Amino acid sequence: MTNRVCPLAWLALWLVALGVSVSARAAEPDASIAAFFGHWQGSAIAEDSVSVTFPVTMRDLDVDIGPTAEGFEIGWTTVLREKGVADDPTVERKAMRQSFVTGGRPGVWRASDNGDPLGAGRYAWARLAGQRLTVSVLTIGADGSHVLQVYHRTLDPPGMKLDFTAIADGVVYRTVSGRLVKVGN
């Protein structure tokens, strides 16, 4: 007699385990958007498939999230320490601020200044699920090409985890992973 288990039994066991895992995640309560409010600082590592000179770089992160009358506002600043040429790298600072208003569904907001992405505008929205606030920004070029930027900010004691992905026409060209801590309200 052999100790082999029928492949269907393994499949059934795997599906049960998957169901338990999914139901455990589904049972995790959604954080309130207010749990993200405050001033956060940290650092991250960026991997860029476009840059030959600096394919992996460190970044400093600064994020402010706070309430508005109709939703919330998020501002973020990224300081790139290595930009330009290898022999003489420069420091570059990028900043963005976006206000979100209710999207008509629980846990979903839209940017207050959304334009028509086909008319040289951009479209941004936010979603809160579990402990993760996701901000997505879609931009469509004049030729129909598109860039999707996705910022996952997850409450993860003792702070917040950031995972950013930039995708151009379905190809990931930049990822950023980092950690932030709350330094103020």
DSSP 30: P
33-47, 84-98, 121-135: lowest mean pLDDT where? 84-98
Is 3 part of a structural domain of the chain?
Answer: no
> Across-strand partners of 99?
73
pLDDT tops 70 at residue 118? yes
* 1 within a domain of the structure (yes/no): no
Flag whether 80 is in a domain: yes
- Residue 170, pLDDT score: 92
Q: In which band, very low, low, confident or very high, does the pLDDT at 119 lie, cut at 50, 70 and 90?
A: confident
pLDDT greater at residue 145 or residue 54: 145
Q: Minimal CA–CA distance to 110: which of 100, 118, 99?
A: 100
Q: Where are the alpha helices (DSSP H) in 81-182?
A: none
Angle of CA points 67, 73, 77, to nearest 5°: 130
Give the pLDDT score at 182.
97
- Whether 111 is covered by a domain: the verdict is yes
Q: Which residues pair with 62 in a beta bridge?
A: 41, 77
pLDDT at 23: 39
Tally the domains of the chain: 1
CA pair distance 131, 153, nearest whole angstrom: 8
Residue 64 within any structural domain of the chain: yes
CATH code, 167? 2.40.128.20
> Comparing C-alpha atoms, which of 127, 120, 170 is closest to residue 147?
170
Q: Which residues in 70-97 are b (16+ Cβ under 10 Å) and which e? A: ebbebebbbbbebbeeeeeeeeeeeeee
For residue 18, being part of any structural domain is answered with no
Q: Which domain holds residue 75?
A: 29-184
Across the range 85-91, mean pLDDT stands at: 68
